[in-house]
Amino acid sequence: MGIRTIAVFSEADRGALHVDMASDAIEIGPAPSAGSYLNQEAILEAVEETGAEAVHPGYGFLSENAEFAEKLEESGVKFIGPPISAINLMGDKIRSKKMAVEAGVPVVPGFADPVESGAGAERIAAEIGYPVILKASAGGGGKGMRLVDSASQINEALVSCISEAEASFGDGRVFIEKFISDPRHIEIQVLADTHGNTIHLGERECSIQRRHQKVVEEAPSPFVDQELRGEMGARAVALAAAVDYVSAGTVEFIVDQNHNFYFLEMNTRLQVEHPVTEFVTGLDLVEQMIRIAAGERLEIEQSDVEVNGWAMESRVYAEDPIRGFLPAIGRLTRYKEPMSGVFGTDKSVRIDSGASEGDTISRYYDPMIAKLITHGKTRDAAISQMRRALDEFIVIGVTHNLDFLAALMGHPKFRAGELTTNFISEEFGDRFIPADTSHPDPKILAAVAGVLHGVLEGRRAQISPRHRDGLAATREDMPLDDHWVVILNRTHYPVRLAETNGEQVVLVDGDRFSVSGGWSPEQELFTGAVNGEEICIQVDRNEAGFRFRHYGFLADIRILRPVAAEMLTRMPEKRDTDTSNLVMSPMPGLVVSIDVDEGQEVRLGDKVAVIEAMKMENQLFAECDGVVAKIHCQPGDSVDVDQVIMEFE
């Protein structure tokens, strides 16, 4: 747009991507956000110092802070967002619910006045029927809510809800609604200018969330047809118009299994998931917000809005799915976004990120590393793009949820569009462990493993005999043997490279696979096609073969000569190949501390030991609930990689 931009940043964000991308940047305080991104005075100073004409508040932080918007307007600076009155009104869930009723927007059956006494709450609940939900008027986004199943719990729930609301928001008003079970979260994007024009840009579905943290969002929703879209859109526009809304905003609904929709709240900011709407409408929402703030008229009418194809967004979080999705921190020692490889030509993948290789993910802010957004003609196509892009995304140094996202994308119910806000907890429970079992097509992995092994064997044979000992020299004279056995998830697949003729043909247990795409041993990605289907696999080499990461599966692959594989089957089953009850040192190092005792009960994620290696302390955590059976090391011991530190029962 040709507008000079100035980024503000905290001490922790000196090297952050947004700092590089802006025309200029200014430091506003220390890492904790209270001193920087939430420090209104520091930002106002930065505005004054740089002569900025307007401030875009982004999302989170001060984006829905009416006081901040007011201070800006007082100093003659435009707040790129809605009027202060709309922020205030929508921040009050009791007032906004009443406003919605007045504007003819359906709301959840209940009572839009504060409830004060347990007896009052019991009377209302009896009228609307259990289960009911208590909500703090100043809450929102899941904060300050209590689910109540029966009259016996309601008094206690009300007392604790009111006191929590008072403590958190300084506003103890609580209201009561019927609890809608298994709802879908569907929201309508609205845009309004200062000339009285208000339109909607269709819906986004955000049902895939964990503990009120959205994980996957999409537009449109597989649950919404043209008729419902028109109805929800019209109500959202009516509500926005009723509060003289200006700028981009989102009207959030829950939709029950019978397609009844109910207003929940209105978010008076740009939302994290806005790219999916941008992808399907072709509009740039931030550009629209800036034009609206500058007093321009919307250049489109409702009838101009088209929803094209399907867009899907995955939030790549620094978190540990194995340890119950605990936030993770660390340095991105390797960070490579998809589409930088062979697929980088089309416009179906977008990445909005705040980090680059070498950056540190700190504990100060939200653990989101990037948003990966894909587009396709159909929902299936958008999902396929997403699966491929997830396979291509390399994040090392910080534990992440890429495998979990890939598993979500492959989940049959997700693919069928059968979503509710309980999807993740119902289908995955409270953690996720990637495995090599149940990959949909292990033979494809075996075929690729065969090709990669062929590359390695070819290399070995090409090494000049002069650089090798006599044994290699004789080996050089032998014909290249291209029969191997790929062992994957305890299954043996005989593999033969039949031809090498530009494309490779691989026979896996008699099935023919044509594999294209190059790979060299330095590459951490295999990108190519198997039988014409594009495929991307992350490849880790190890002594026995490979570790593949594909579609959220971790596949450990061994490759052996047929004779060796045959011998392996004759060998007695190893006494104990199951190491899941062992805590082993991930690297050679020194035991700094043992943090549990024999006989102690531990829970998934508890710290059990600390190992120091290369001056870095590495904490080891329990990977399941259990009881410590035996401890094999003491502080001060040096340990080898994979040396057993302790056993669980």
Q: Which of 25, 99, 158, 180 binds ligand MV4 (CB under 6 A)?
A: 180
SS3 589: strand
* Alpha-helix runs per DSSP H in 523-595: 562-570
How far apart CA 447 and CA 116 sit, in angstroms, is 67
Tokens of 446: 């075996």
Verify binding: residue 133, ligand MV4, rule CB under 6 A: yes
* Locus of tokens 């040709």: 2
Shortest separation between residue 245's beta carbon and ligand MV4, angstroms: 18
Q: Give whole-number Cα distances, 491 to 205, 485, 486, 557, 564, in Å.
A: 40, 10, 8, 10, 15
Shortest separation between residue 187's beta carbon and ligand MV4, angstroms: 9
Active site residue 11: no
Q: Which of 72, 108, 280, 369 binds ligand MV4 (CB under 6 A)?
A: 108
Verify binding: residue 61, ligand MV4, rule CB under 6 A: no
How far apart CA 81 and CA 141 sit, in angstroms, is 19
Q: Which is nearer to ligand MV4, 264 or 398 (CB)?
A: 264
Shortest separation between residue 490's beta carbon and ligand MV4, angstroms: 40
Shortest separation between residue 405's beta carbon and ligand MV4, angstroms: 18
Helix (H) or strand (E) holding 462: helix 442-462
Candidate ranges 50-58, 178-186, 368-376, 530-538; the one touching ligand MV4 (CB under 6 A): 178-186
Residue 19: exposure state from Cβ atoms within 10 A (0-12, 13-18, ≥19): middle
Q: Residue 536: how many CA atoms within 13 Å on its side-chain side?
A: 21
Verify binding: residue 183, ligand MV4, rule CB under 6 A: yes
279 within 8 A of 375, measured Cβ to Cβ: yes
The one catalytic residue in 203, 265, 278, 623 is 265
Q: Which of 15, 104, 141, 586 binds ligand MV4 (CB under 6 A)?
A: 141
- Which residue type sits at 203? E
Tokens of 100: 């919605």
How far apart CA 618 and CA 613 sit, in angstroms, is 8
SS3 337: coil
Q: Give whole-number Cα distances, 101 to 52, 142, 369, in Å.
A: 40, 21, 39
Residues that bind ligand MV4 (rule: CB under 6 A) add up to a total of 18
**Beta bridge mates, 204:** 187
Verify binding: residue 348, ligand MV4, rule CB under 6 A: no
How far apart CA 298 and CA 285 sit, in angstroms, is 12
Verify binding: residue 179, ligand MV4, rule CB under 6 A: yes
Verify binding: residue 265, ligand MV4, rule CB under 6 A: yes
Candidate ranges 80-88, 174-182, 394-402, 404-412; the one touching ligand MV4 (CB under 6 A): 174-182
Verify binding: residue 122, ligand MV4, rule CB under 6 A: no
Verify binding: residue 187, ligand MV4, rule CB under 6 A: no
Q: Which of 65, 96, 137, 209 binds ligand MV4 (CB under 6 A)?
A: 209
Shortest separation between residue 165's beta carbon and ligand MV4, angstroms: 14
- Which residue type sits at 173? R
- Cα angle 201-205-206, degrees, rounded to a multiple of 5: 125
Q: Which is nearer to ligand MV4, 217 or 623 (CB)?
A: 217
How far apart CA 139 and CA 133 sit, in angstroms, is 13
Q: Which of 87, 158, 264, 611 binds ligand MV4 (CB under 6 A)?
A: 264
Verify binding: residue 407, ligand MV4, rule CB under 6 A: no
Residues that bind ligand MV4 (CB under 6 A): 108, 133, 140-142, 177-180, 183, 185, 209, 212, 252, 254, 264-265, 421
> Active-site positions?
265
